[in-house]
Structure 1
């Protein structure tokens, strides 16, 4: 149960800030004529996140589990990165809900691929945070942690597209986006504390 809860909280904390990737999926839900036509953006973003999560967890596990000292260094680095990222997100301004034109399926997929795989923040989130956090778990627990992160990712992107499709052209107050960022920062700082406690108790 612990790895599932950890994965859910961590994934939500990392995915809540409405950056380029999330704004794109949301606006496709708003600008497309119906929800089905916004699915290419949501599905592509979710698949990219799934790929990054799996590669980060498997890749780091194969290397880190062989070296205790490297595991500790990565956990400490992950804690520092979480603290820094939480501060950046907490102080960041609310995202603007800019109106965009409806894109074709091909353009949706290509744009979603670019903002997902060429986004340095997404790479740092998965490799530096999710991958590092998974190191503390054994095989079965690590699998549960991975599933939890992936499910949150799919749920979130489909939720954004659905939310946009329901609201359509309704203007969303800036305060709503700001609240997302504040909530995300709290989640991230909580995860940093969780990792720090585990390090102090010798879990790593």
Structure 2
């Protein structure tokens, strides 16, 4: 098999394995998909943010980031604070469950959605500590062509996943018309955010 194609397939598999997991960014994209608010914009920004970090990781940022304790510390504490605050908001919403009424949902501002999506894409330390560093190190064994293929495969996985999540969430809308389902989602999102924050602080003390 051609080395470029093999690298691309490996990059796609690695990218998918890192992205397809319950996490802060995925929970946010899922929520916007359920609300049907700016789904295309949220998916596009999430995918482009991943793509930029993947390319930077494959072509050098990963090794620089991994070798800088200061950068890791900044990402860890900043990301943990962000996750704690957002988790608290989700848990507060879980205490006041409501049915999903798409017609009654206030429209979120485009600016607010862009800023929130960028925050979930760039303030999440796992993006740097896992995706950037891991993908960068795995691609390091290839030549230039192989690294291009690996990066392309990982970027493709991001685009496929985020658009599938944002638009596929529509299938769950009937379920989330029940307040109990929305309460479970908010509680799960809040718990995941706080667990991620704790794991970051514990593992990078």
The alignment of Structure 1 onto Structure 2 pairs a total of residues equal to 142
User: Which ranges of structure 1 fall in alignment gaps of 5 or more residues?
Assistant: 64-95, 178-204
Residue 194 of structure 1 corresponds to which residue in structure 2?
none
Aligned-pair Cα RMSD in Å: 3.1
Q: 1:61 to 1:140 in 2, by over 3 A?
A: farther
1:2 aligns with 2:6: yes
Aligned-partner SS, 2:175: coil
Matches within 5 A, 1:1-204: 1-32=5-36, 37-60=38-61, 103-171=108-176
TM-score normalized with structure 1 length:
0.61
Kept in 2, the 8 Å contact 1:60–1:132? The answer is: no
Hey, what's the Cα distance between the residues in 1 that align with 2:175 and 2:164?
Answer: 17
Q: 1:131 to 1:164 in 2, by over 3 A?
A: same
Q: 1:7 to 1:165 in 2, by over 3 A?
A: same
Aligned-partner SS, 2:21: coil
Aligned-partner SS, 1:137: coil
Aligned-pair CA distance for 1:103: 2.5
Hey, what's the Cα distance between the residues in 2 that align with 1:147 and 1:111?
Answer: 26
Hey, what's the Cα distance between the residues in 2 that align with 1:119 and 1:168?
Answer: 27
Hey, what's the Cα distance between the residues in 1 that align with 2:122 and 2:62?
Answer: 21
Aligned-pair CA distance for 1:45: 0.8
Hey, what's the Cα distance between the residues in 2 that align with 1:168 and 1:16?
Answer: 21
Hey, what's the Cα distance between the residues in 2 that align with 1:156 and 1:125?
Answer: 17
Aligned-pair CA distance for 1:113: 0.4
Hey, what's the Cα distance between the residues in 2 that align with 1:50 and 1:155?
Answer: 12
Kept in 2, the 8 Å contact 1:29–1:165? The answer is: yes
Hey, what's the Cα distance between the residues in 2 that align with 1:61 and 1:117?
Answer: 15
TM-score normalized with structure 2 length:
0.60
Aligned-pair CA distance for 1:10: 0.5
User: Which ranges of structure 2 fall in alignment gaps of 5 or more residues?
Assistant: 65-90, 189-205
